[in-house]
Amino acid sequence: MTDKGIGARTLRKEDRRFITGKGRYVDDIRMQGQAYAVFVRSPHAHARIGAIGKDAVLGMPGVLGVFTGADVQADGLGSNVCGWNVVSKDGSGMNMAPYPLLCTDKARYVGDRVAMVVAETLDQARDAADALEVDYEPLPAVVDVAKAQDGPVIHDGIAGNLIYDWELGDKAATEAAFQKAAHVTRIELVNNRLAPNALEPRAALGHFDPGTEQHTLYVTSQNPHVHRLVMSAFIGIAPEHKLRVVAPDVGGGFGSKIFIYGEECLVLWASRKLDGVPVKWTADRTEAFLSDAHGRDHVSKAELAIDADGDFLALRVNTKANLGAYMSTFSSCVPTYLYATLLAGQYKTPAIYADVQAYYTNTSPVDAYRGAGRPEASFLIETIVGQAARELGRDPAELRRQNFIPKDAFPYQTPVALTYDTGDYAATLDRALDLSDYKGFEARKRESASRGKLRGIGLSCYIEACGIAPSAVVGSLGAGVGLWESGKVRFSHTGKVQVLTGTHSHGQGHETSFSQLIASKLGVPFEDVEVIHGDTEKTPVGMGTYGSRSLAVGGEAIARSCDKIVAKGRKIAAHLLEAAEADIEFKDGQFTVKGTDRAKSIGEVAFAAYVPHNYPEGVEPGLEEGAFFDPPNFTYPAGTYVCELEVDPDTGTTEILRFVAVDDFGNVVNPMIVEGQVHGGLMQGIGQALLEGAVYDQSGQLVSATYMDYAMPRAWDVPFFEVETGQGTPAQANSLGVKGCGEAGAIGAPAAVINALTDAIGVRVEMPATPEKVWHAIQATRHAQAAE
Amino acid sequence: MTHVSLKVNGREVSRDVEPRTLLVELLRRDLNLTGTHVGCDTSQCGCCVVHVDGVGTKSCTMLAVQADGKAITTIEGLAAVAEADGRAEDGLHPVQAAFRQHHGLQCGFCTPGMIMSAADLLSRNADPTEHEVREWLEGNLCRCTGYHNIVKAIMAAGATMRGAATPRAAE
Amino acid sequence: MYAFDYAKPASLDEAARLLADDPEAKALAGGQTYIPTLKQRLAQPTRLVDLAGIPDLATIKEEGDGLAVGAMTTHKAVAASPVVQRAFPELAYLASLIGDPAVRAMGTIGGSVANNDPAADYPVVVLTLDATVRTTKGEHRGSDFFPGMFETALEPDELIREFHIPVPEAAAWEKFRNPASRYALVSVLLVRTKDGEIRCGVGGAGPTCFRATAIEDALRSSFAPEALDGVTIDAGDLNEDIHATAAYRAHLIPVLAKRCVRRMLRR
């Protein structure tokens, strides 16, 4: 019964519908009489909006409505919000400007929503949107975070476009440690802006039922309850009990579908304005590039103080973060609490100080993208440590090992707020060095050199905090919501099980992993479990899926629900078996009287609970239990990645030859799914390192707005990965001992690639390290060497 | 409006369409075959790949009128093709079965196009090298899997289709 | 897409007449470039004249010292053609690297040449080998068929019937792909013609394909990779975009040409 349970490489139950074309994504849903929305977007990065020629368009064939910011305002709808208040050094709150659903006075980035056209067919809506005349008065724009302070004011009253100026750590202790340093390694780096690129573009279908006044929104969301909360409490689309949000099959998220965007609010609002005509919008890819929240976009300076023995004394970091034209849902916490709190990495560096300035620019909003803050932290630490090793002439693996938090030091309080629960960093390092034949590298390098190629090897010993929660901690840091999770386990008369979860699966395989959990915890056949998620009308209130939290937080809520089921079942079984409750044992789906073979299966107990003809006094009928779990701490996945690559000095082309990933995810429910998560994360990390960049020109046009110009990783950009997840130290924050695995690859990979590349060519190249940049770097190095 | 007659998954279909209707729009909107997806505007992601007269084709880069008189197979009809060849297993085409067996999908959005592309490759070369598989996927993007298990699945499906006991060294 | 009418004529002459009658009408070959253009509303034709219904435009045969390739021959057909593989294998190789398998199944040589995208591959062949472009109005020489970016010697109502591509004595094709689009960032076709002439065609780098005469001159005196050491290409006229500067494109041309030389010497 448990051969498919926890720890098994159980094949996914959701796959059959996807491989046969029977998945049901938002754009696949068609309601009777549905109309289509098309958004008119600003072609200017910054412009004052004048007259909008609505009337001319309203008469066009099929047009049902044309809506502008004035209409939204007239209807009293509120502004979109960022739900995490980051407080500046001086104690002031962040400068959050209004984030209107449709522009009112100004457009602030290319792609900003200026108007919405609704028509009977998609082509009619496009034709009408094309014909809509808008008067723009273009204004100067700023796109680079480094120039934001001196750029034109984007939001009235926010001088220097500064959102906050925040700090973490002990500045004085850090300064003092630098005074004692024998060596200081300094680095300036860019964490390149990325477009998330879930393959399914965002989509929404809104329907207002005039009879019941119920609002239903089908939307590409990672967290339907968060959508419902923000749309009702802040934007005022509908009261929360009259609003149902459904996120059916969702084609990837990577963070970009956490956030509440104007489009999805507006289609629902438009359905009400149009007396219940369902209104659908589906982004095309260019709209996705323009309007999905981007990720990363940091410029940082960092210094690492090291003593004469090679021990790290202190780390000092300044980061400027680009948050784009408006503050998206969780944008503020990404370059602060999800970033600077991770700057200790795997090291016992005693003093750390970071300060972060976040700015508005005339670009798409920037928010969480796979890893969210932690990739930026990990990249910075692992790059500066790599550089320190080069400067000191130390083996990069040994310098790291020397500075690791030792495995007997847990729980370990870092100087940047977090308490790591468990870990064994030397174990993952050793295993990765073994797997990658680190010792044999020099011979391979010589072989490459004999072919005129430059070979490099690079390490990245990353750490992340995930299982995003705990509520009290995040609340004290400014979060506007709690980050617990809900679960519910419901038996039926016939012993089948429905699992309801507030998390949402958009590729992670929850239907399988959670069924495995039930199979192991309750001894119910894997096939008899149905996992239900993604519908606010079906599932208890939950906070959704991001931050590698679904299993560590949501899974634990389900596990605790199972414990309650067993506790109640024990009472029922004791009655049925005429034994004392204390004598009932539960194992593999059987309630057994201790020391006898008298037993009742959990199915029989469930039947008795629903047909309580012979039933214990004082026990409620039914077998359905729920739990809300708010963990005491984050979880801390960590590991070592080793990248080996070869550079063609003639062209600067980089070829990844091997990529070894050894991760400590604690206990693992489904190794097959976990490895798959790592593969995908690695590819995104490698993409960031070598290929991807969301690039604005100085006028604010997004020049990488299609796949012709945004370099997506393809199958031939990588070899097979070598992934191992078997060396775990179980997490302490949940009974399952699981840590979360969704983001690790994207967090750890960029530094491994860049360190390998630096090893190959002798100089660090900013990401994405395109062939041209690499070639120029090689040329510059050669010129410098020739001049010596 | 222009009249088009074509065969879709073995069924004769006739419709009057605007000339600007894409094949993928005909499939998704008019025939409710929503397994074929659209992930980009520039013919690069491959989520929309179907077979036109047996050849992998991007249905977002073909007008419905261009498909007049042709036979289209979509992801919904692929298993039936294998059934007809006697190669289906558990009601699935070997490529579909291999994607499941080797965890070659996560969110499932690129999957139909991936499977249709892979089936196209294996119909002409059932023993591709890893390099050939990766080259073939030039026009199919996936954001979830890092392609690792997709490549494994395609090579394993090739082994099944040519009756080999074990797939060519996939790792 | 904007709305348009559709016609599927049965002969090339009828197609040419439809185009002559309506200057805003456009010919549709494989559509692999033009349909994405239409989808992005970057073009607004009144009518598409689909050439797919015209018989005998997708043929490949040997003719004299070269290959006669019909305008509607797909990249896939060229890549797979036993005739091409035997007579001019590098052309089959070149075709096998265009776009992706699905694009190759629809895209045609005629469409590619008539569009003359600076990053397209077939124009380099037509230019370098001075292929004959046979049209509804007569013939053009490949050497003066590509006046500029997205421009050709064709008149608006003139359609390509077929190409006569002289088969070289030896040839090598190198394409350095744009990391995003995977079109050519720079491509080089190096050939030795049956007359022993060395020609080097370059794609992707400039507004339109061109001959790299500095490389030809250097290789004429010594057909060896080292002959290209020190050969530089003027970056002044080359393309520059987010993927590559003109200087980098200029650098890549002799690098790719060297690879071509090595491959030709190895055979």
- The verdict on C180 touching A (C-beta cutoff 8 Å) is yes
pLDDT of the residue at A547: 87
Helices B111-124 and B148-161: crossing angle, nearest 10°? 40
Interface residue C267 vs chain B (CB under 8 A):
no
Residue whose tokens read 């975070």:
A145
Q: What is A484-629's CATH number, 3.40.1010.10, 3.40.640.10, 3.30.365.10, 3.40.50.300?
A: 3.30.365.10
Q: Pick from B18, B42, B57: which is nearest to C102 by CB?
A: B57
Which pLDDT value is given to residue A1? 43
Distance from CA of B42 to the nearest CA of A (A): 7
Tokens 């089908």, located at residue: A218
Domains of chain C: 5-53 (3.30.43.10), 60-166 (3.30.465.10), 170-266 (3.30.390.50)
The label of the residue with tokens 């490459």 reads: A448
Q: What is the pLDDT of residues A457-473, one digit of tens each?
A: 999 999 999 987 788 88
- CA B38 vs. chain centroid, Å, equals 13
CATH architecture of the domain formed by A372-464+634-787: 2-Layer Sandwich (3.30)
Give the pLDDT of residue A98.
96
Which residue from C182, C35, C204 is spatially nearest to A710, judged by alpha carbons?
A: C182
**Mean pLDDT for chain C?**
96
Q: How far is B146 from chain A (nearest CA, A)?
A: 4
Are B99 and A15 within 8 A, CB to CB?
yes
Which residue shows structure tokens 């790599």?
A386
**Residue pair A215/A205 in contact by the 8 Å Cβ criterion:** no
- Domains in chain B, ordered, with CATH? 2-75 (3.10.20.30), 77-161 (1.10.150.120)
Contacts of B120 in chain C (CB under 8 A): 101-102
Q: What is the rounded CA–CA span in Å between residue A567 and residue C251? A: 74
DSSP letter (8 states) at residue C168: P
| Average pLDDT score, chain A | 96
Instruction: Tell whether omega for the bond before A411 is within 30 degrees of 0, i.e. cis.
Output: yes
pLDDT higher than 50, residue B42: yes
Say whether B138 and C32 touch across the interface (CB within 8 A). Answer: no
User: Is C181 touching A (CB cutoff 8 A)?
Assistant: yes
- What's the pLDDT at A784? 83
Task: Decide if B51 touches A, using CB distance below 8 A.
Answer: no
Residue C3 parent element (H or E): none
Beta-carbon contacts of A68 under 8 Å, excluding residues fewer than 6 positions away, are A52, A54, A102, A114, A115
Give the closest-approach CA distance of C255 to chain A in angstroms: 7
| pLDDT score at A322 | 98
pLDDT in tens, A204-258: 999 999 999 999 999 999 999 999 999 999 999 999 999 999 999 999 999 999 9
d(CA B90, CA B101): 12
| CATH 3.90.1170.50 segments of chain A | 31-139+200-251+257-291
The answer to whether residue B44 neighbours chain C at the CB level (below 8 Å) is yes
Whole-model pTM: value is: 0.97
Among residues of chain C, what percentage have pLDDT more than 90? Answer: 99
Distances (CA, A) of A708 to A11, A120, A747, C20: 36, 31, 26, 33
Tokens of B21: 């209707």
| Band (A727; pLDDT cuts 50, 70, 90) | low
Separation CA C170–CA C267 (nearest Å): 9
Q: What's the topology of domain A31-139+200-251+257-291?
A: Aldehyde Oxidoreductase; domain 3 (3.90.1170)
Confidence (pLDDT) at C207: 96
- What pLDDT score was predicted for residue C257? 98
Test A745 with B149 for CB contact under 8 angstroms: no
Burial class (CB in 10 A: 0-12, 13-18, 19+), A442: exposed
Tell whether A286 lies on the interface with B, counting CB pairs under 8 A. yes
ipTM tops the 0.90 cut? yes
Any CB–CB contact under 8 A between A32 and chain B?
no
pLDDT tens by residue, C127-137: 999 999 999 99
Termini Cα distance of chain C: 48
Element (DSSP H or E) covering residue A247: none
- Beta carbons of A709 and C3 less than 8 Å apart: no
Indicate the pairing of strand A113-119 with strand A35-41: antiparallel
HSE (CB half, 13 Å, CA atoms) of A571? 16
Asked whether the beta carbons of residue C248 and residue A775 sit closer than 8 angstroms, the reply is: yes
Find, in chain B, the residue whose alpha carbon is nearest to that of C32.
B61
- The Cα–Cα gap between B65 and B42 comes to 20
Gap between the terminal Cα atoms of chain B: 52
CA angle A122, A125, A130 (to 5 degrees): 125
Segments of chain A assigned to CATH 3.30.365.10:
372-464+634-787, 484-629
- Which residue of A707, A708, A716, A765 to mutate against C (max C Cβ within 10 Å)? A708
Alpha-carbon span A490 to A606, nearest angstrom: 10
Q: Is the pLDDT of residue A383 over 50?
A: yes
3-state secondary structure A378-389: HHHHHHHHHHHH
Exposed e or buried b per residue across C7-43, where buried means at least 16 C-beta atoms within 10 angstroms of its C-beta: bbbeebeebbebbeebeebbbbbbbbbbbbbbbeeee
pLDDT at position A769 is: 98
Q: Which residues of C touch A704 (CB under 8 A)?
A: 180, 242
Report yes or no: B61 at the A interface, CB cutoff 8 Å: no
CA distance C69 to C160: 11
CA A450 from centroid of its chain's CA atoms: 43
A536 CB contacts (<8 Å, ≥6 apart)?
A224, A225, A228, A243, A244, A245, A246
Q: What is the pLDDT of residue A476?
A: 84
DSSP string computed for C42-80: ----SEEEEGGGSTT-S-EEEETTEEEEETT-BHHHHHH
Distance CA A503, CA A535 (A): 10
**For A495-553, what is each residue's pLDDT tens digit?**
999 999 999 999 999 999 999 999 999 999 999 999 999 999 999 999 999 988 999 99
Sheet with A590-593: list strands edge to edge: A584-587, A590-593, A599-601
| Residue type for position A607 | F
HSE value, Cβ hemisphere, 13 Å, CA-based, for A395: 9
pLDDT above 60: residue B166:
no
Beta strand A35-41 with A279-282 is parallel
* Predicted local confidence at residue B85, as pLDDT: 87
What's the rounded Cα separation, in Å, for the pair C205 and C185?
A: 6
Are A486 and A557 a contacting pair, CB within 8 Å? yes
Q: What DSSP line would sit under A441-473, residue for residue? A: HHHHHHHHHHTT-EEEEEEEEEE--BS---HHH
- Residue B169 pLDDT greater than 80, yes or no: no
Interface test with B, best of C6, C38, C51, C177 (most B CBs within 10 A): C6
- The terminus-to-terminus CA distance of chain A in angstroms comes to 71
Within 10 A of B49 (CB to CB), how many other CB atoms are there? Answer: 32
Report the pLDDT averaged over residues B147-170.
Answer: 82
Q: Whose structure tokens read 């500075």? A: A403
CB contact under 8 Å between B138 and C52, yes or no, is no
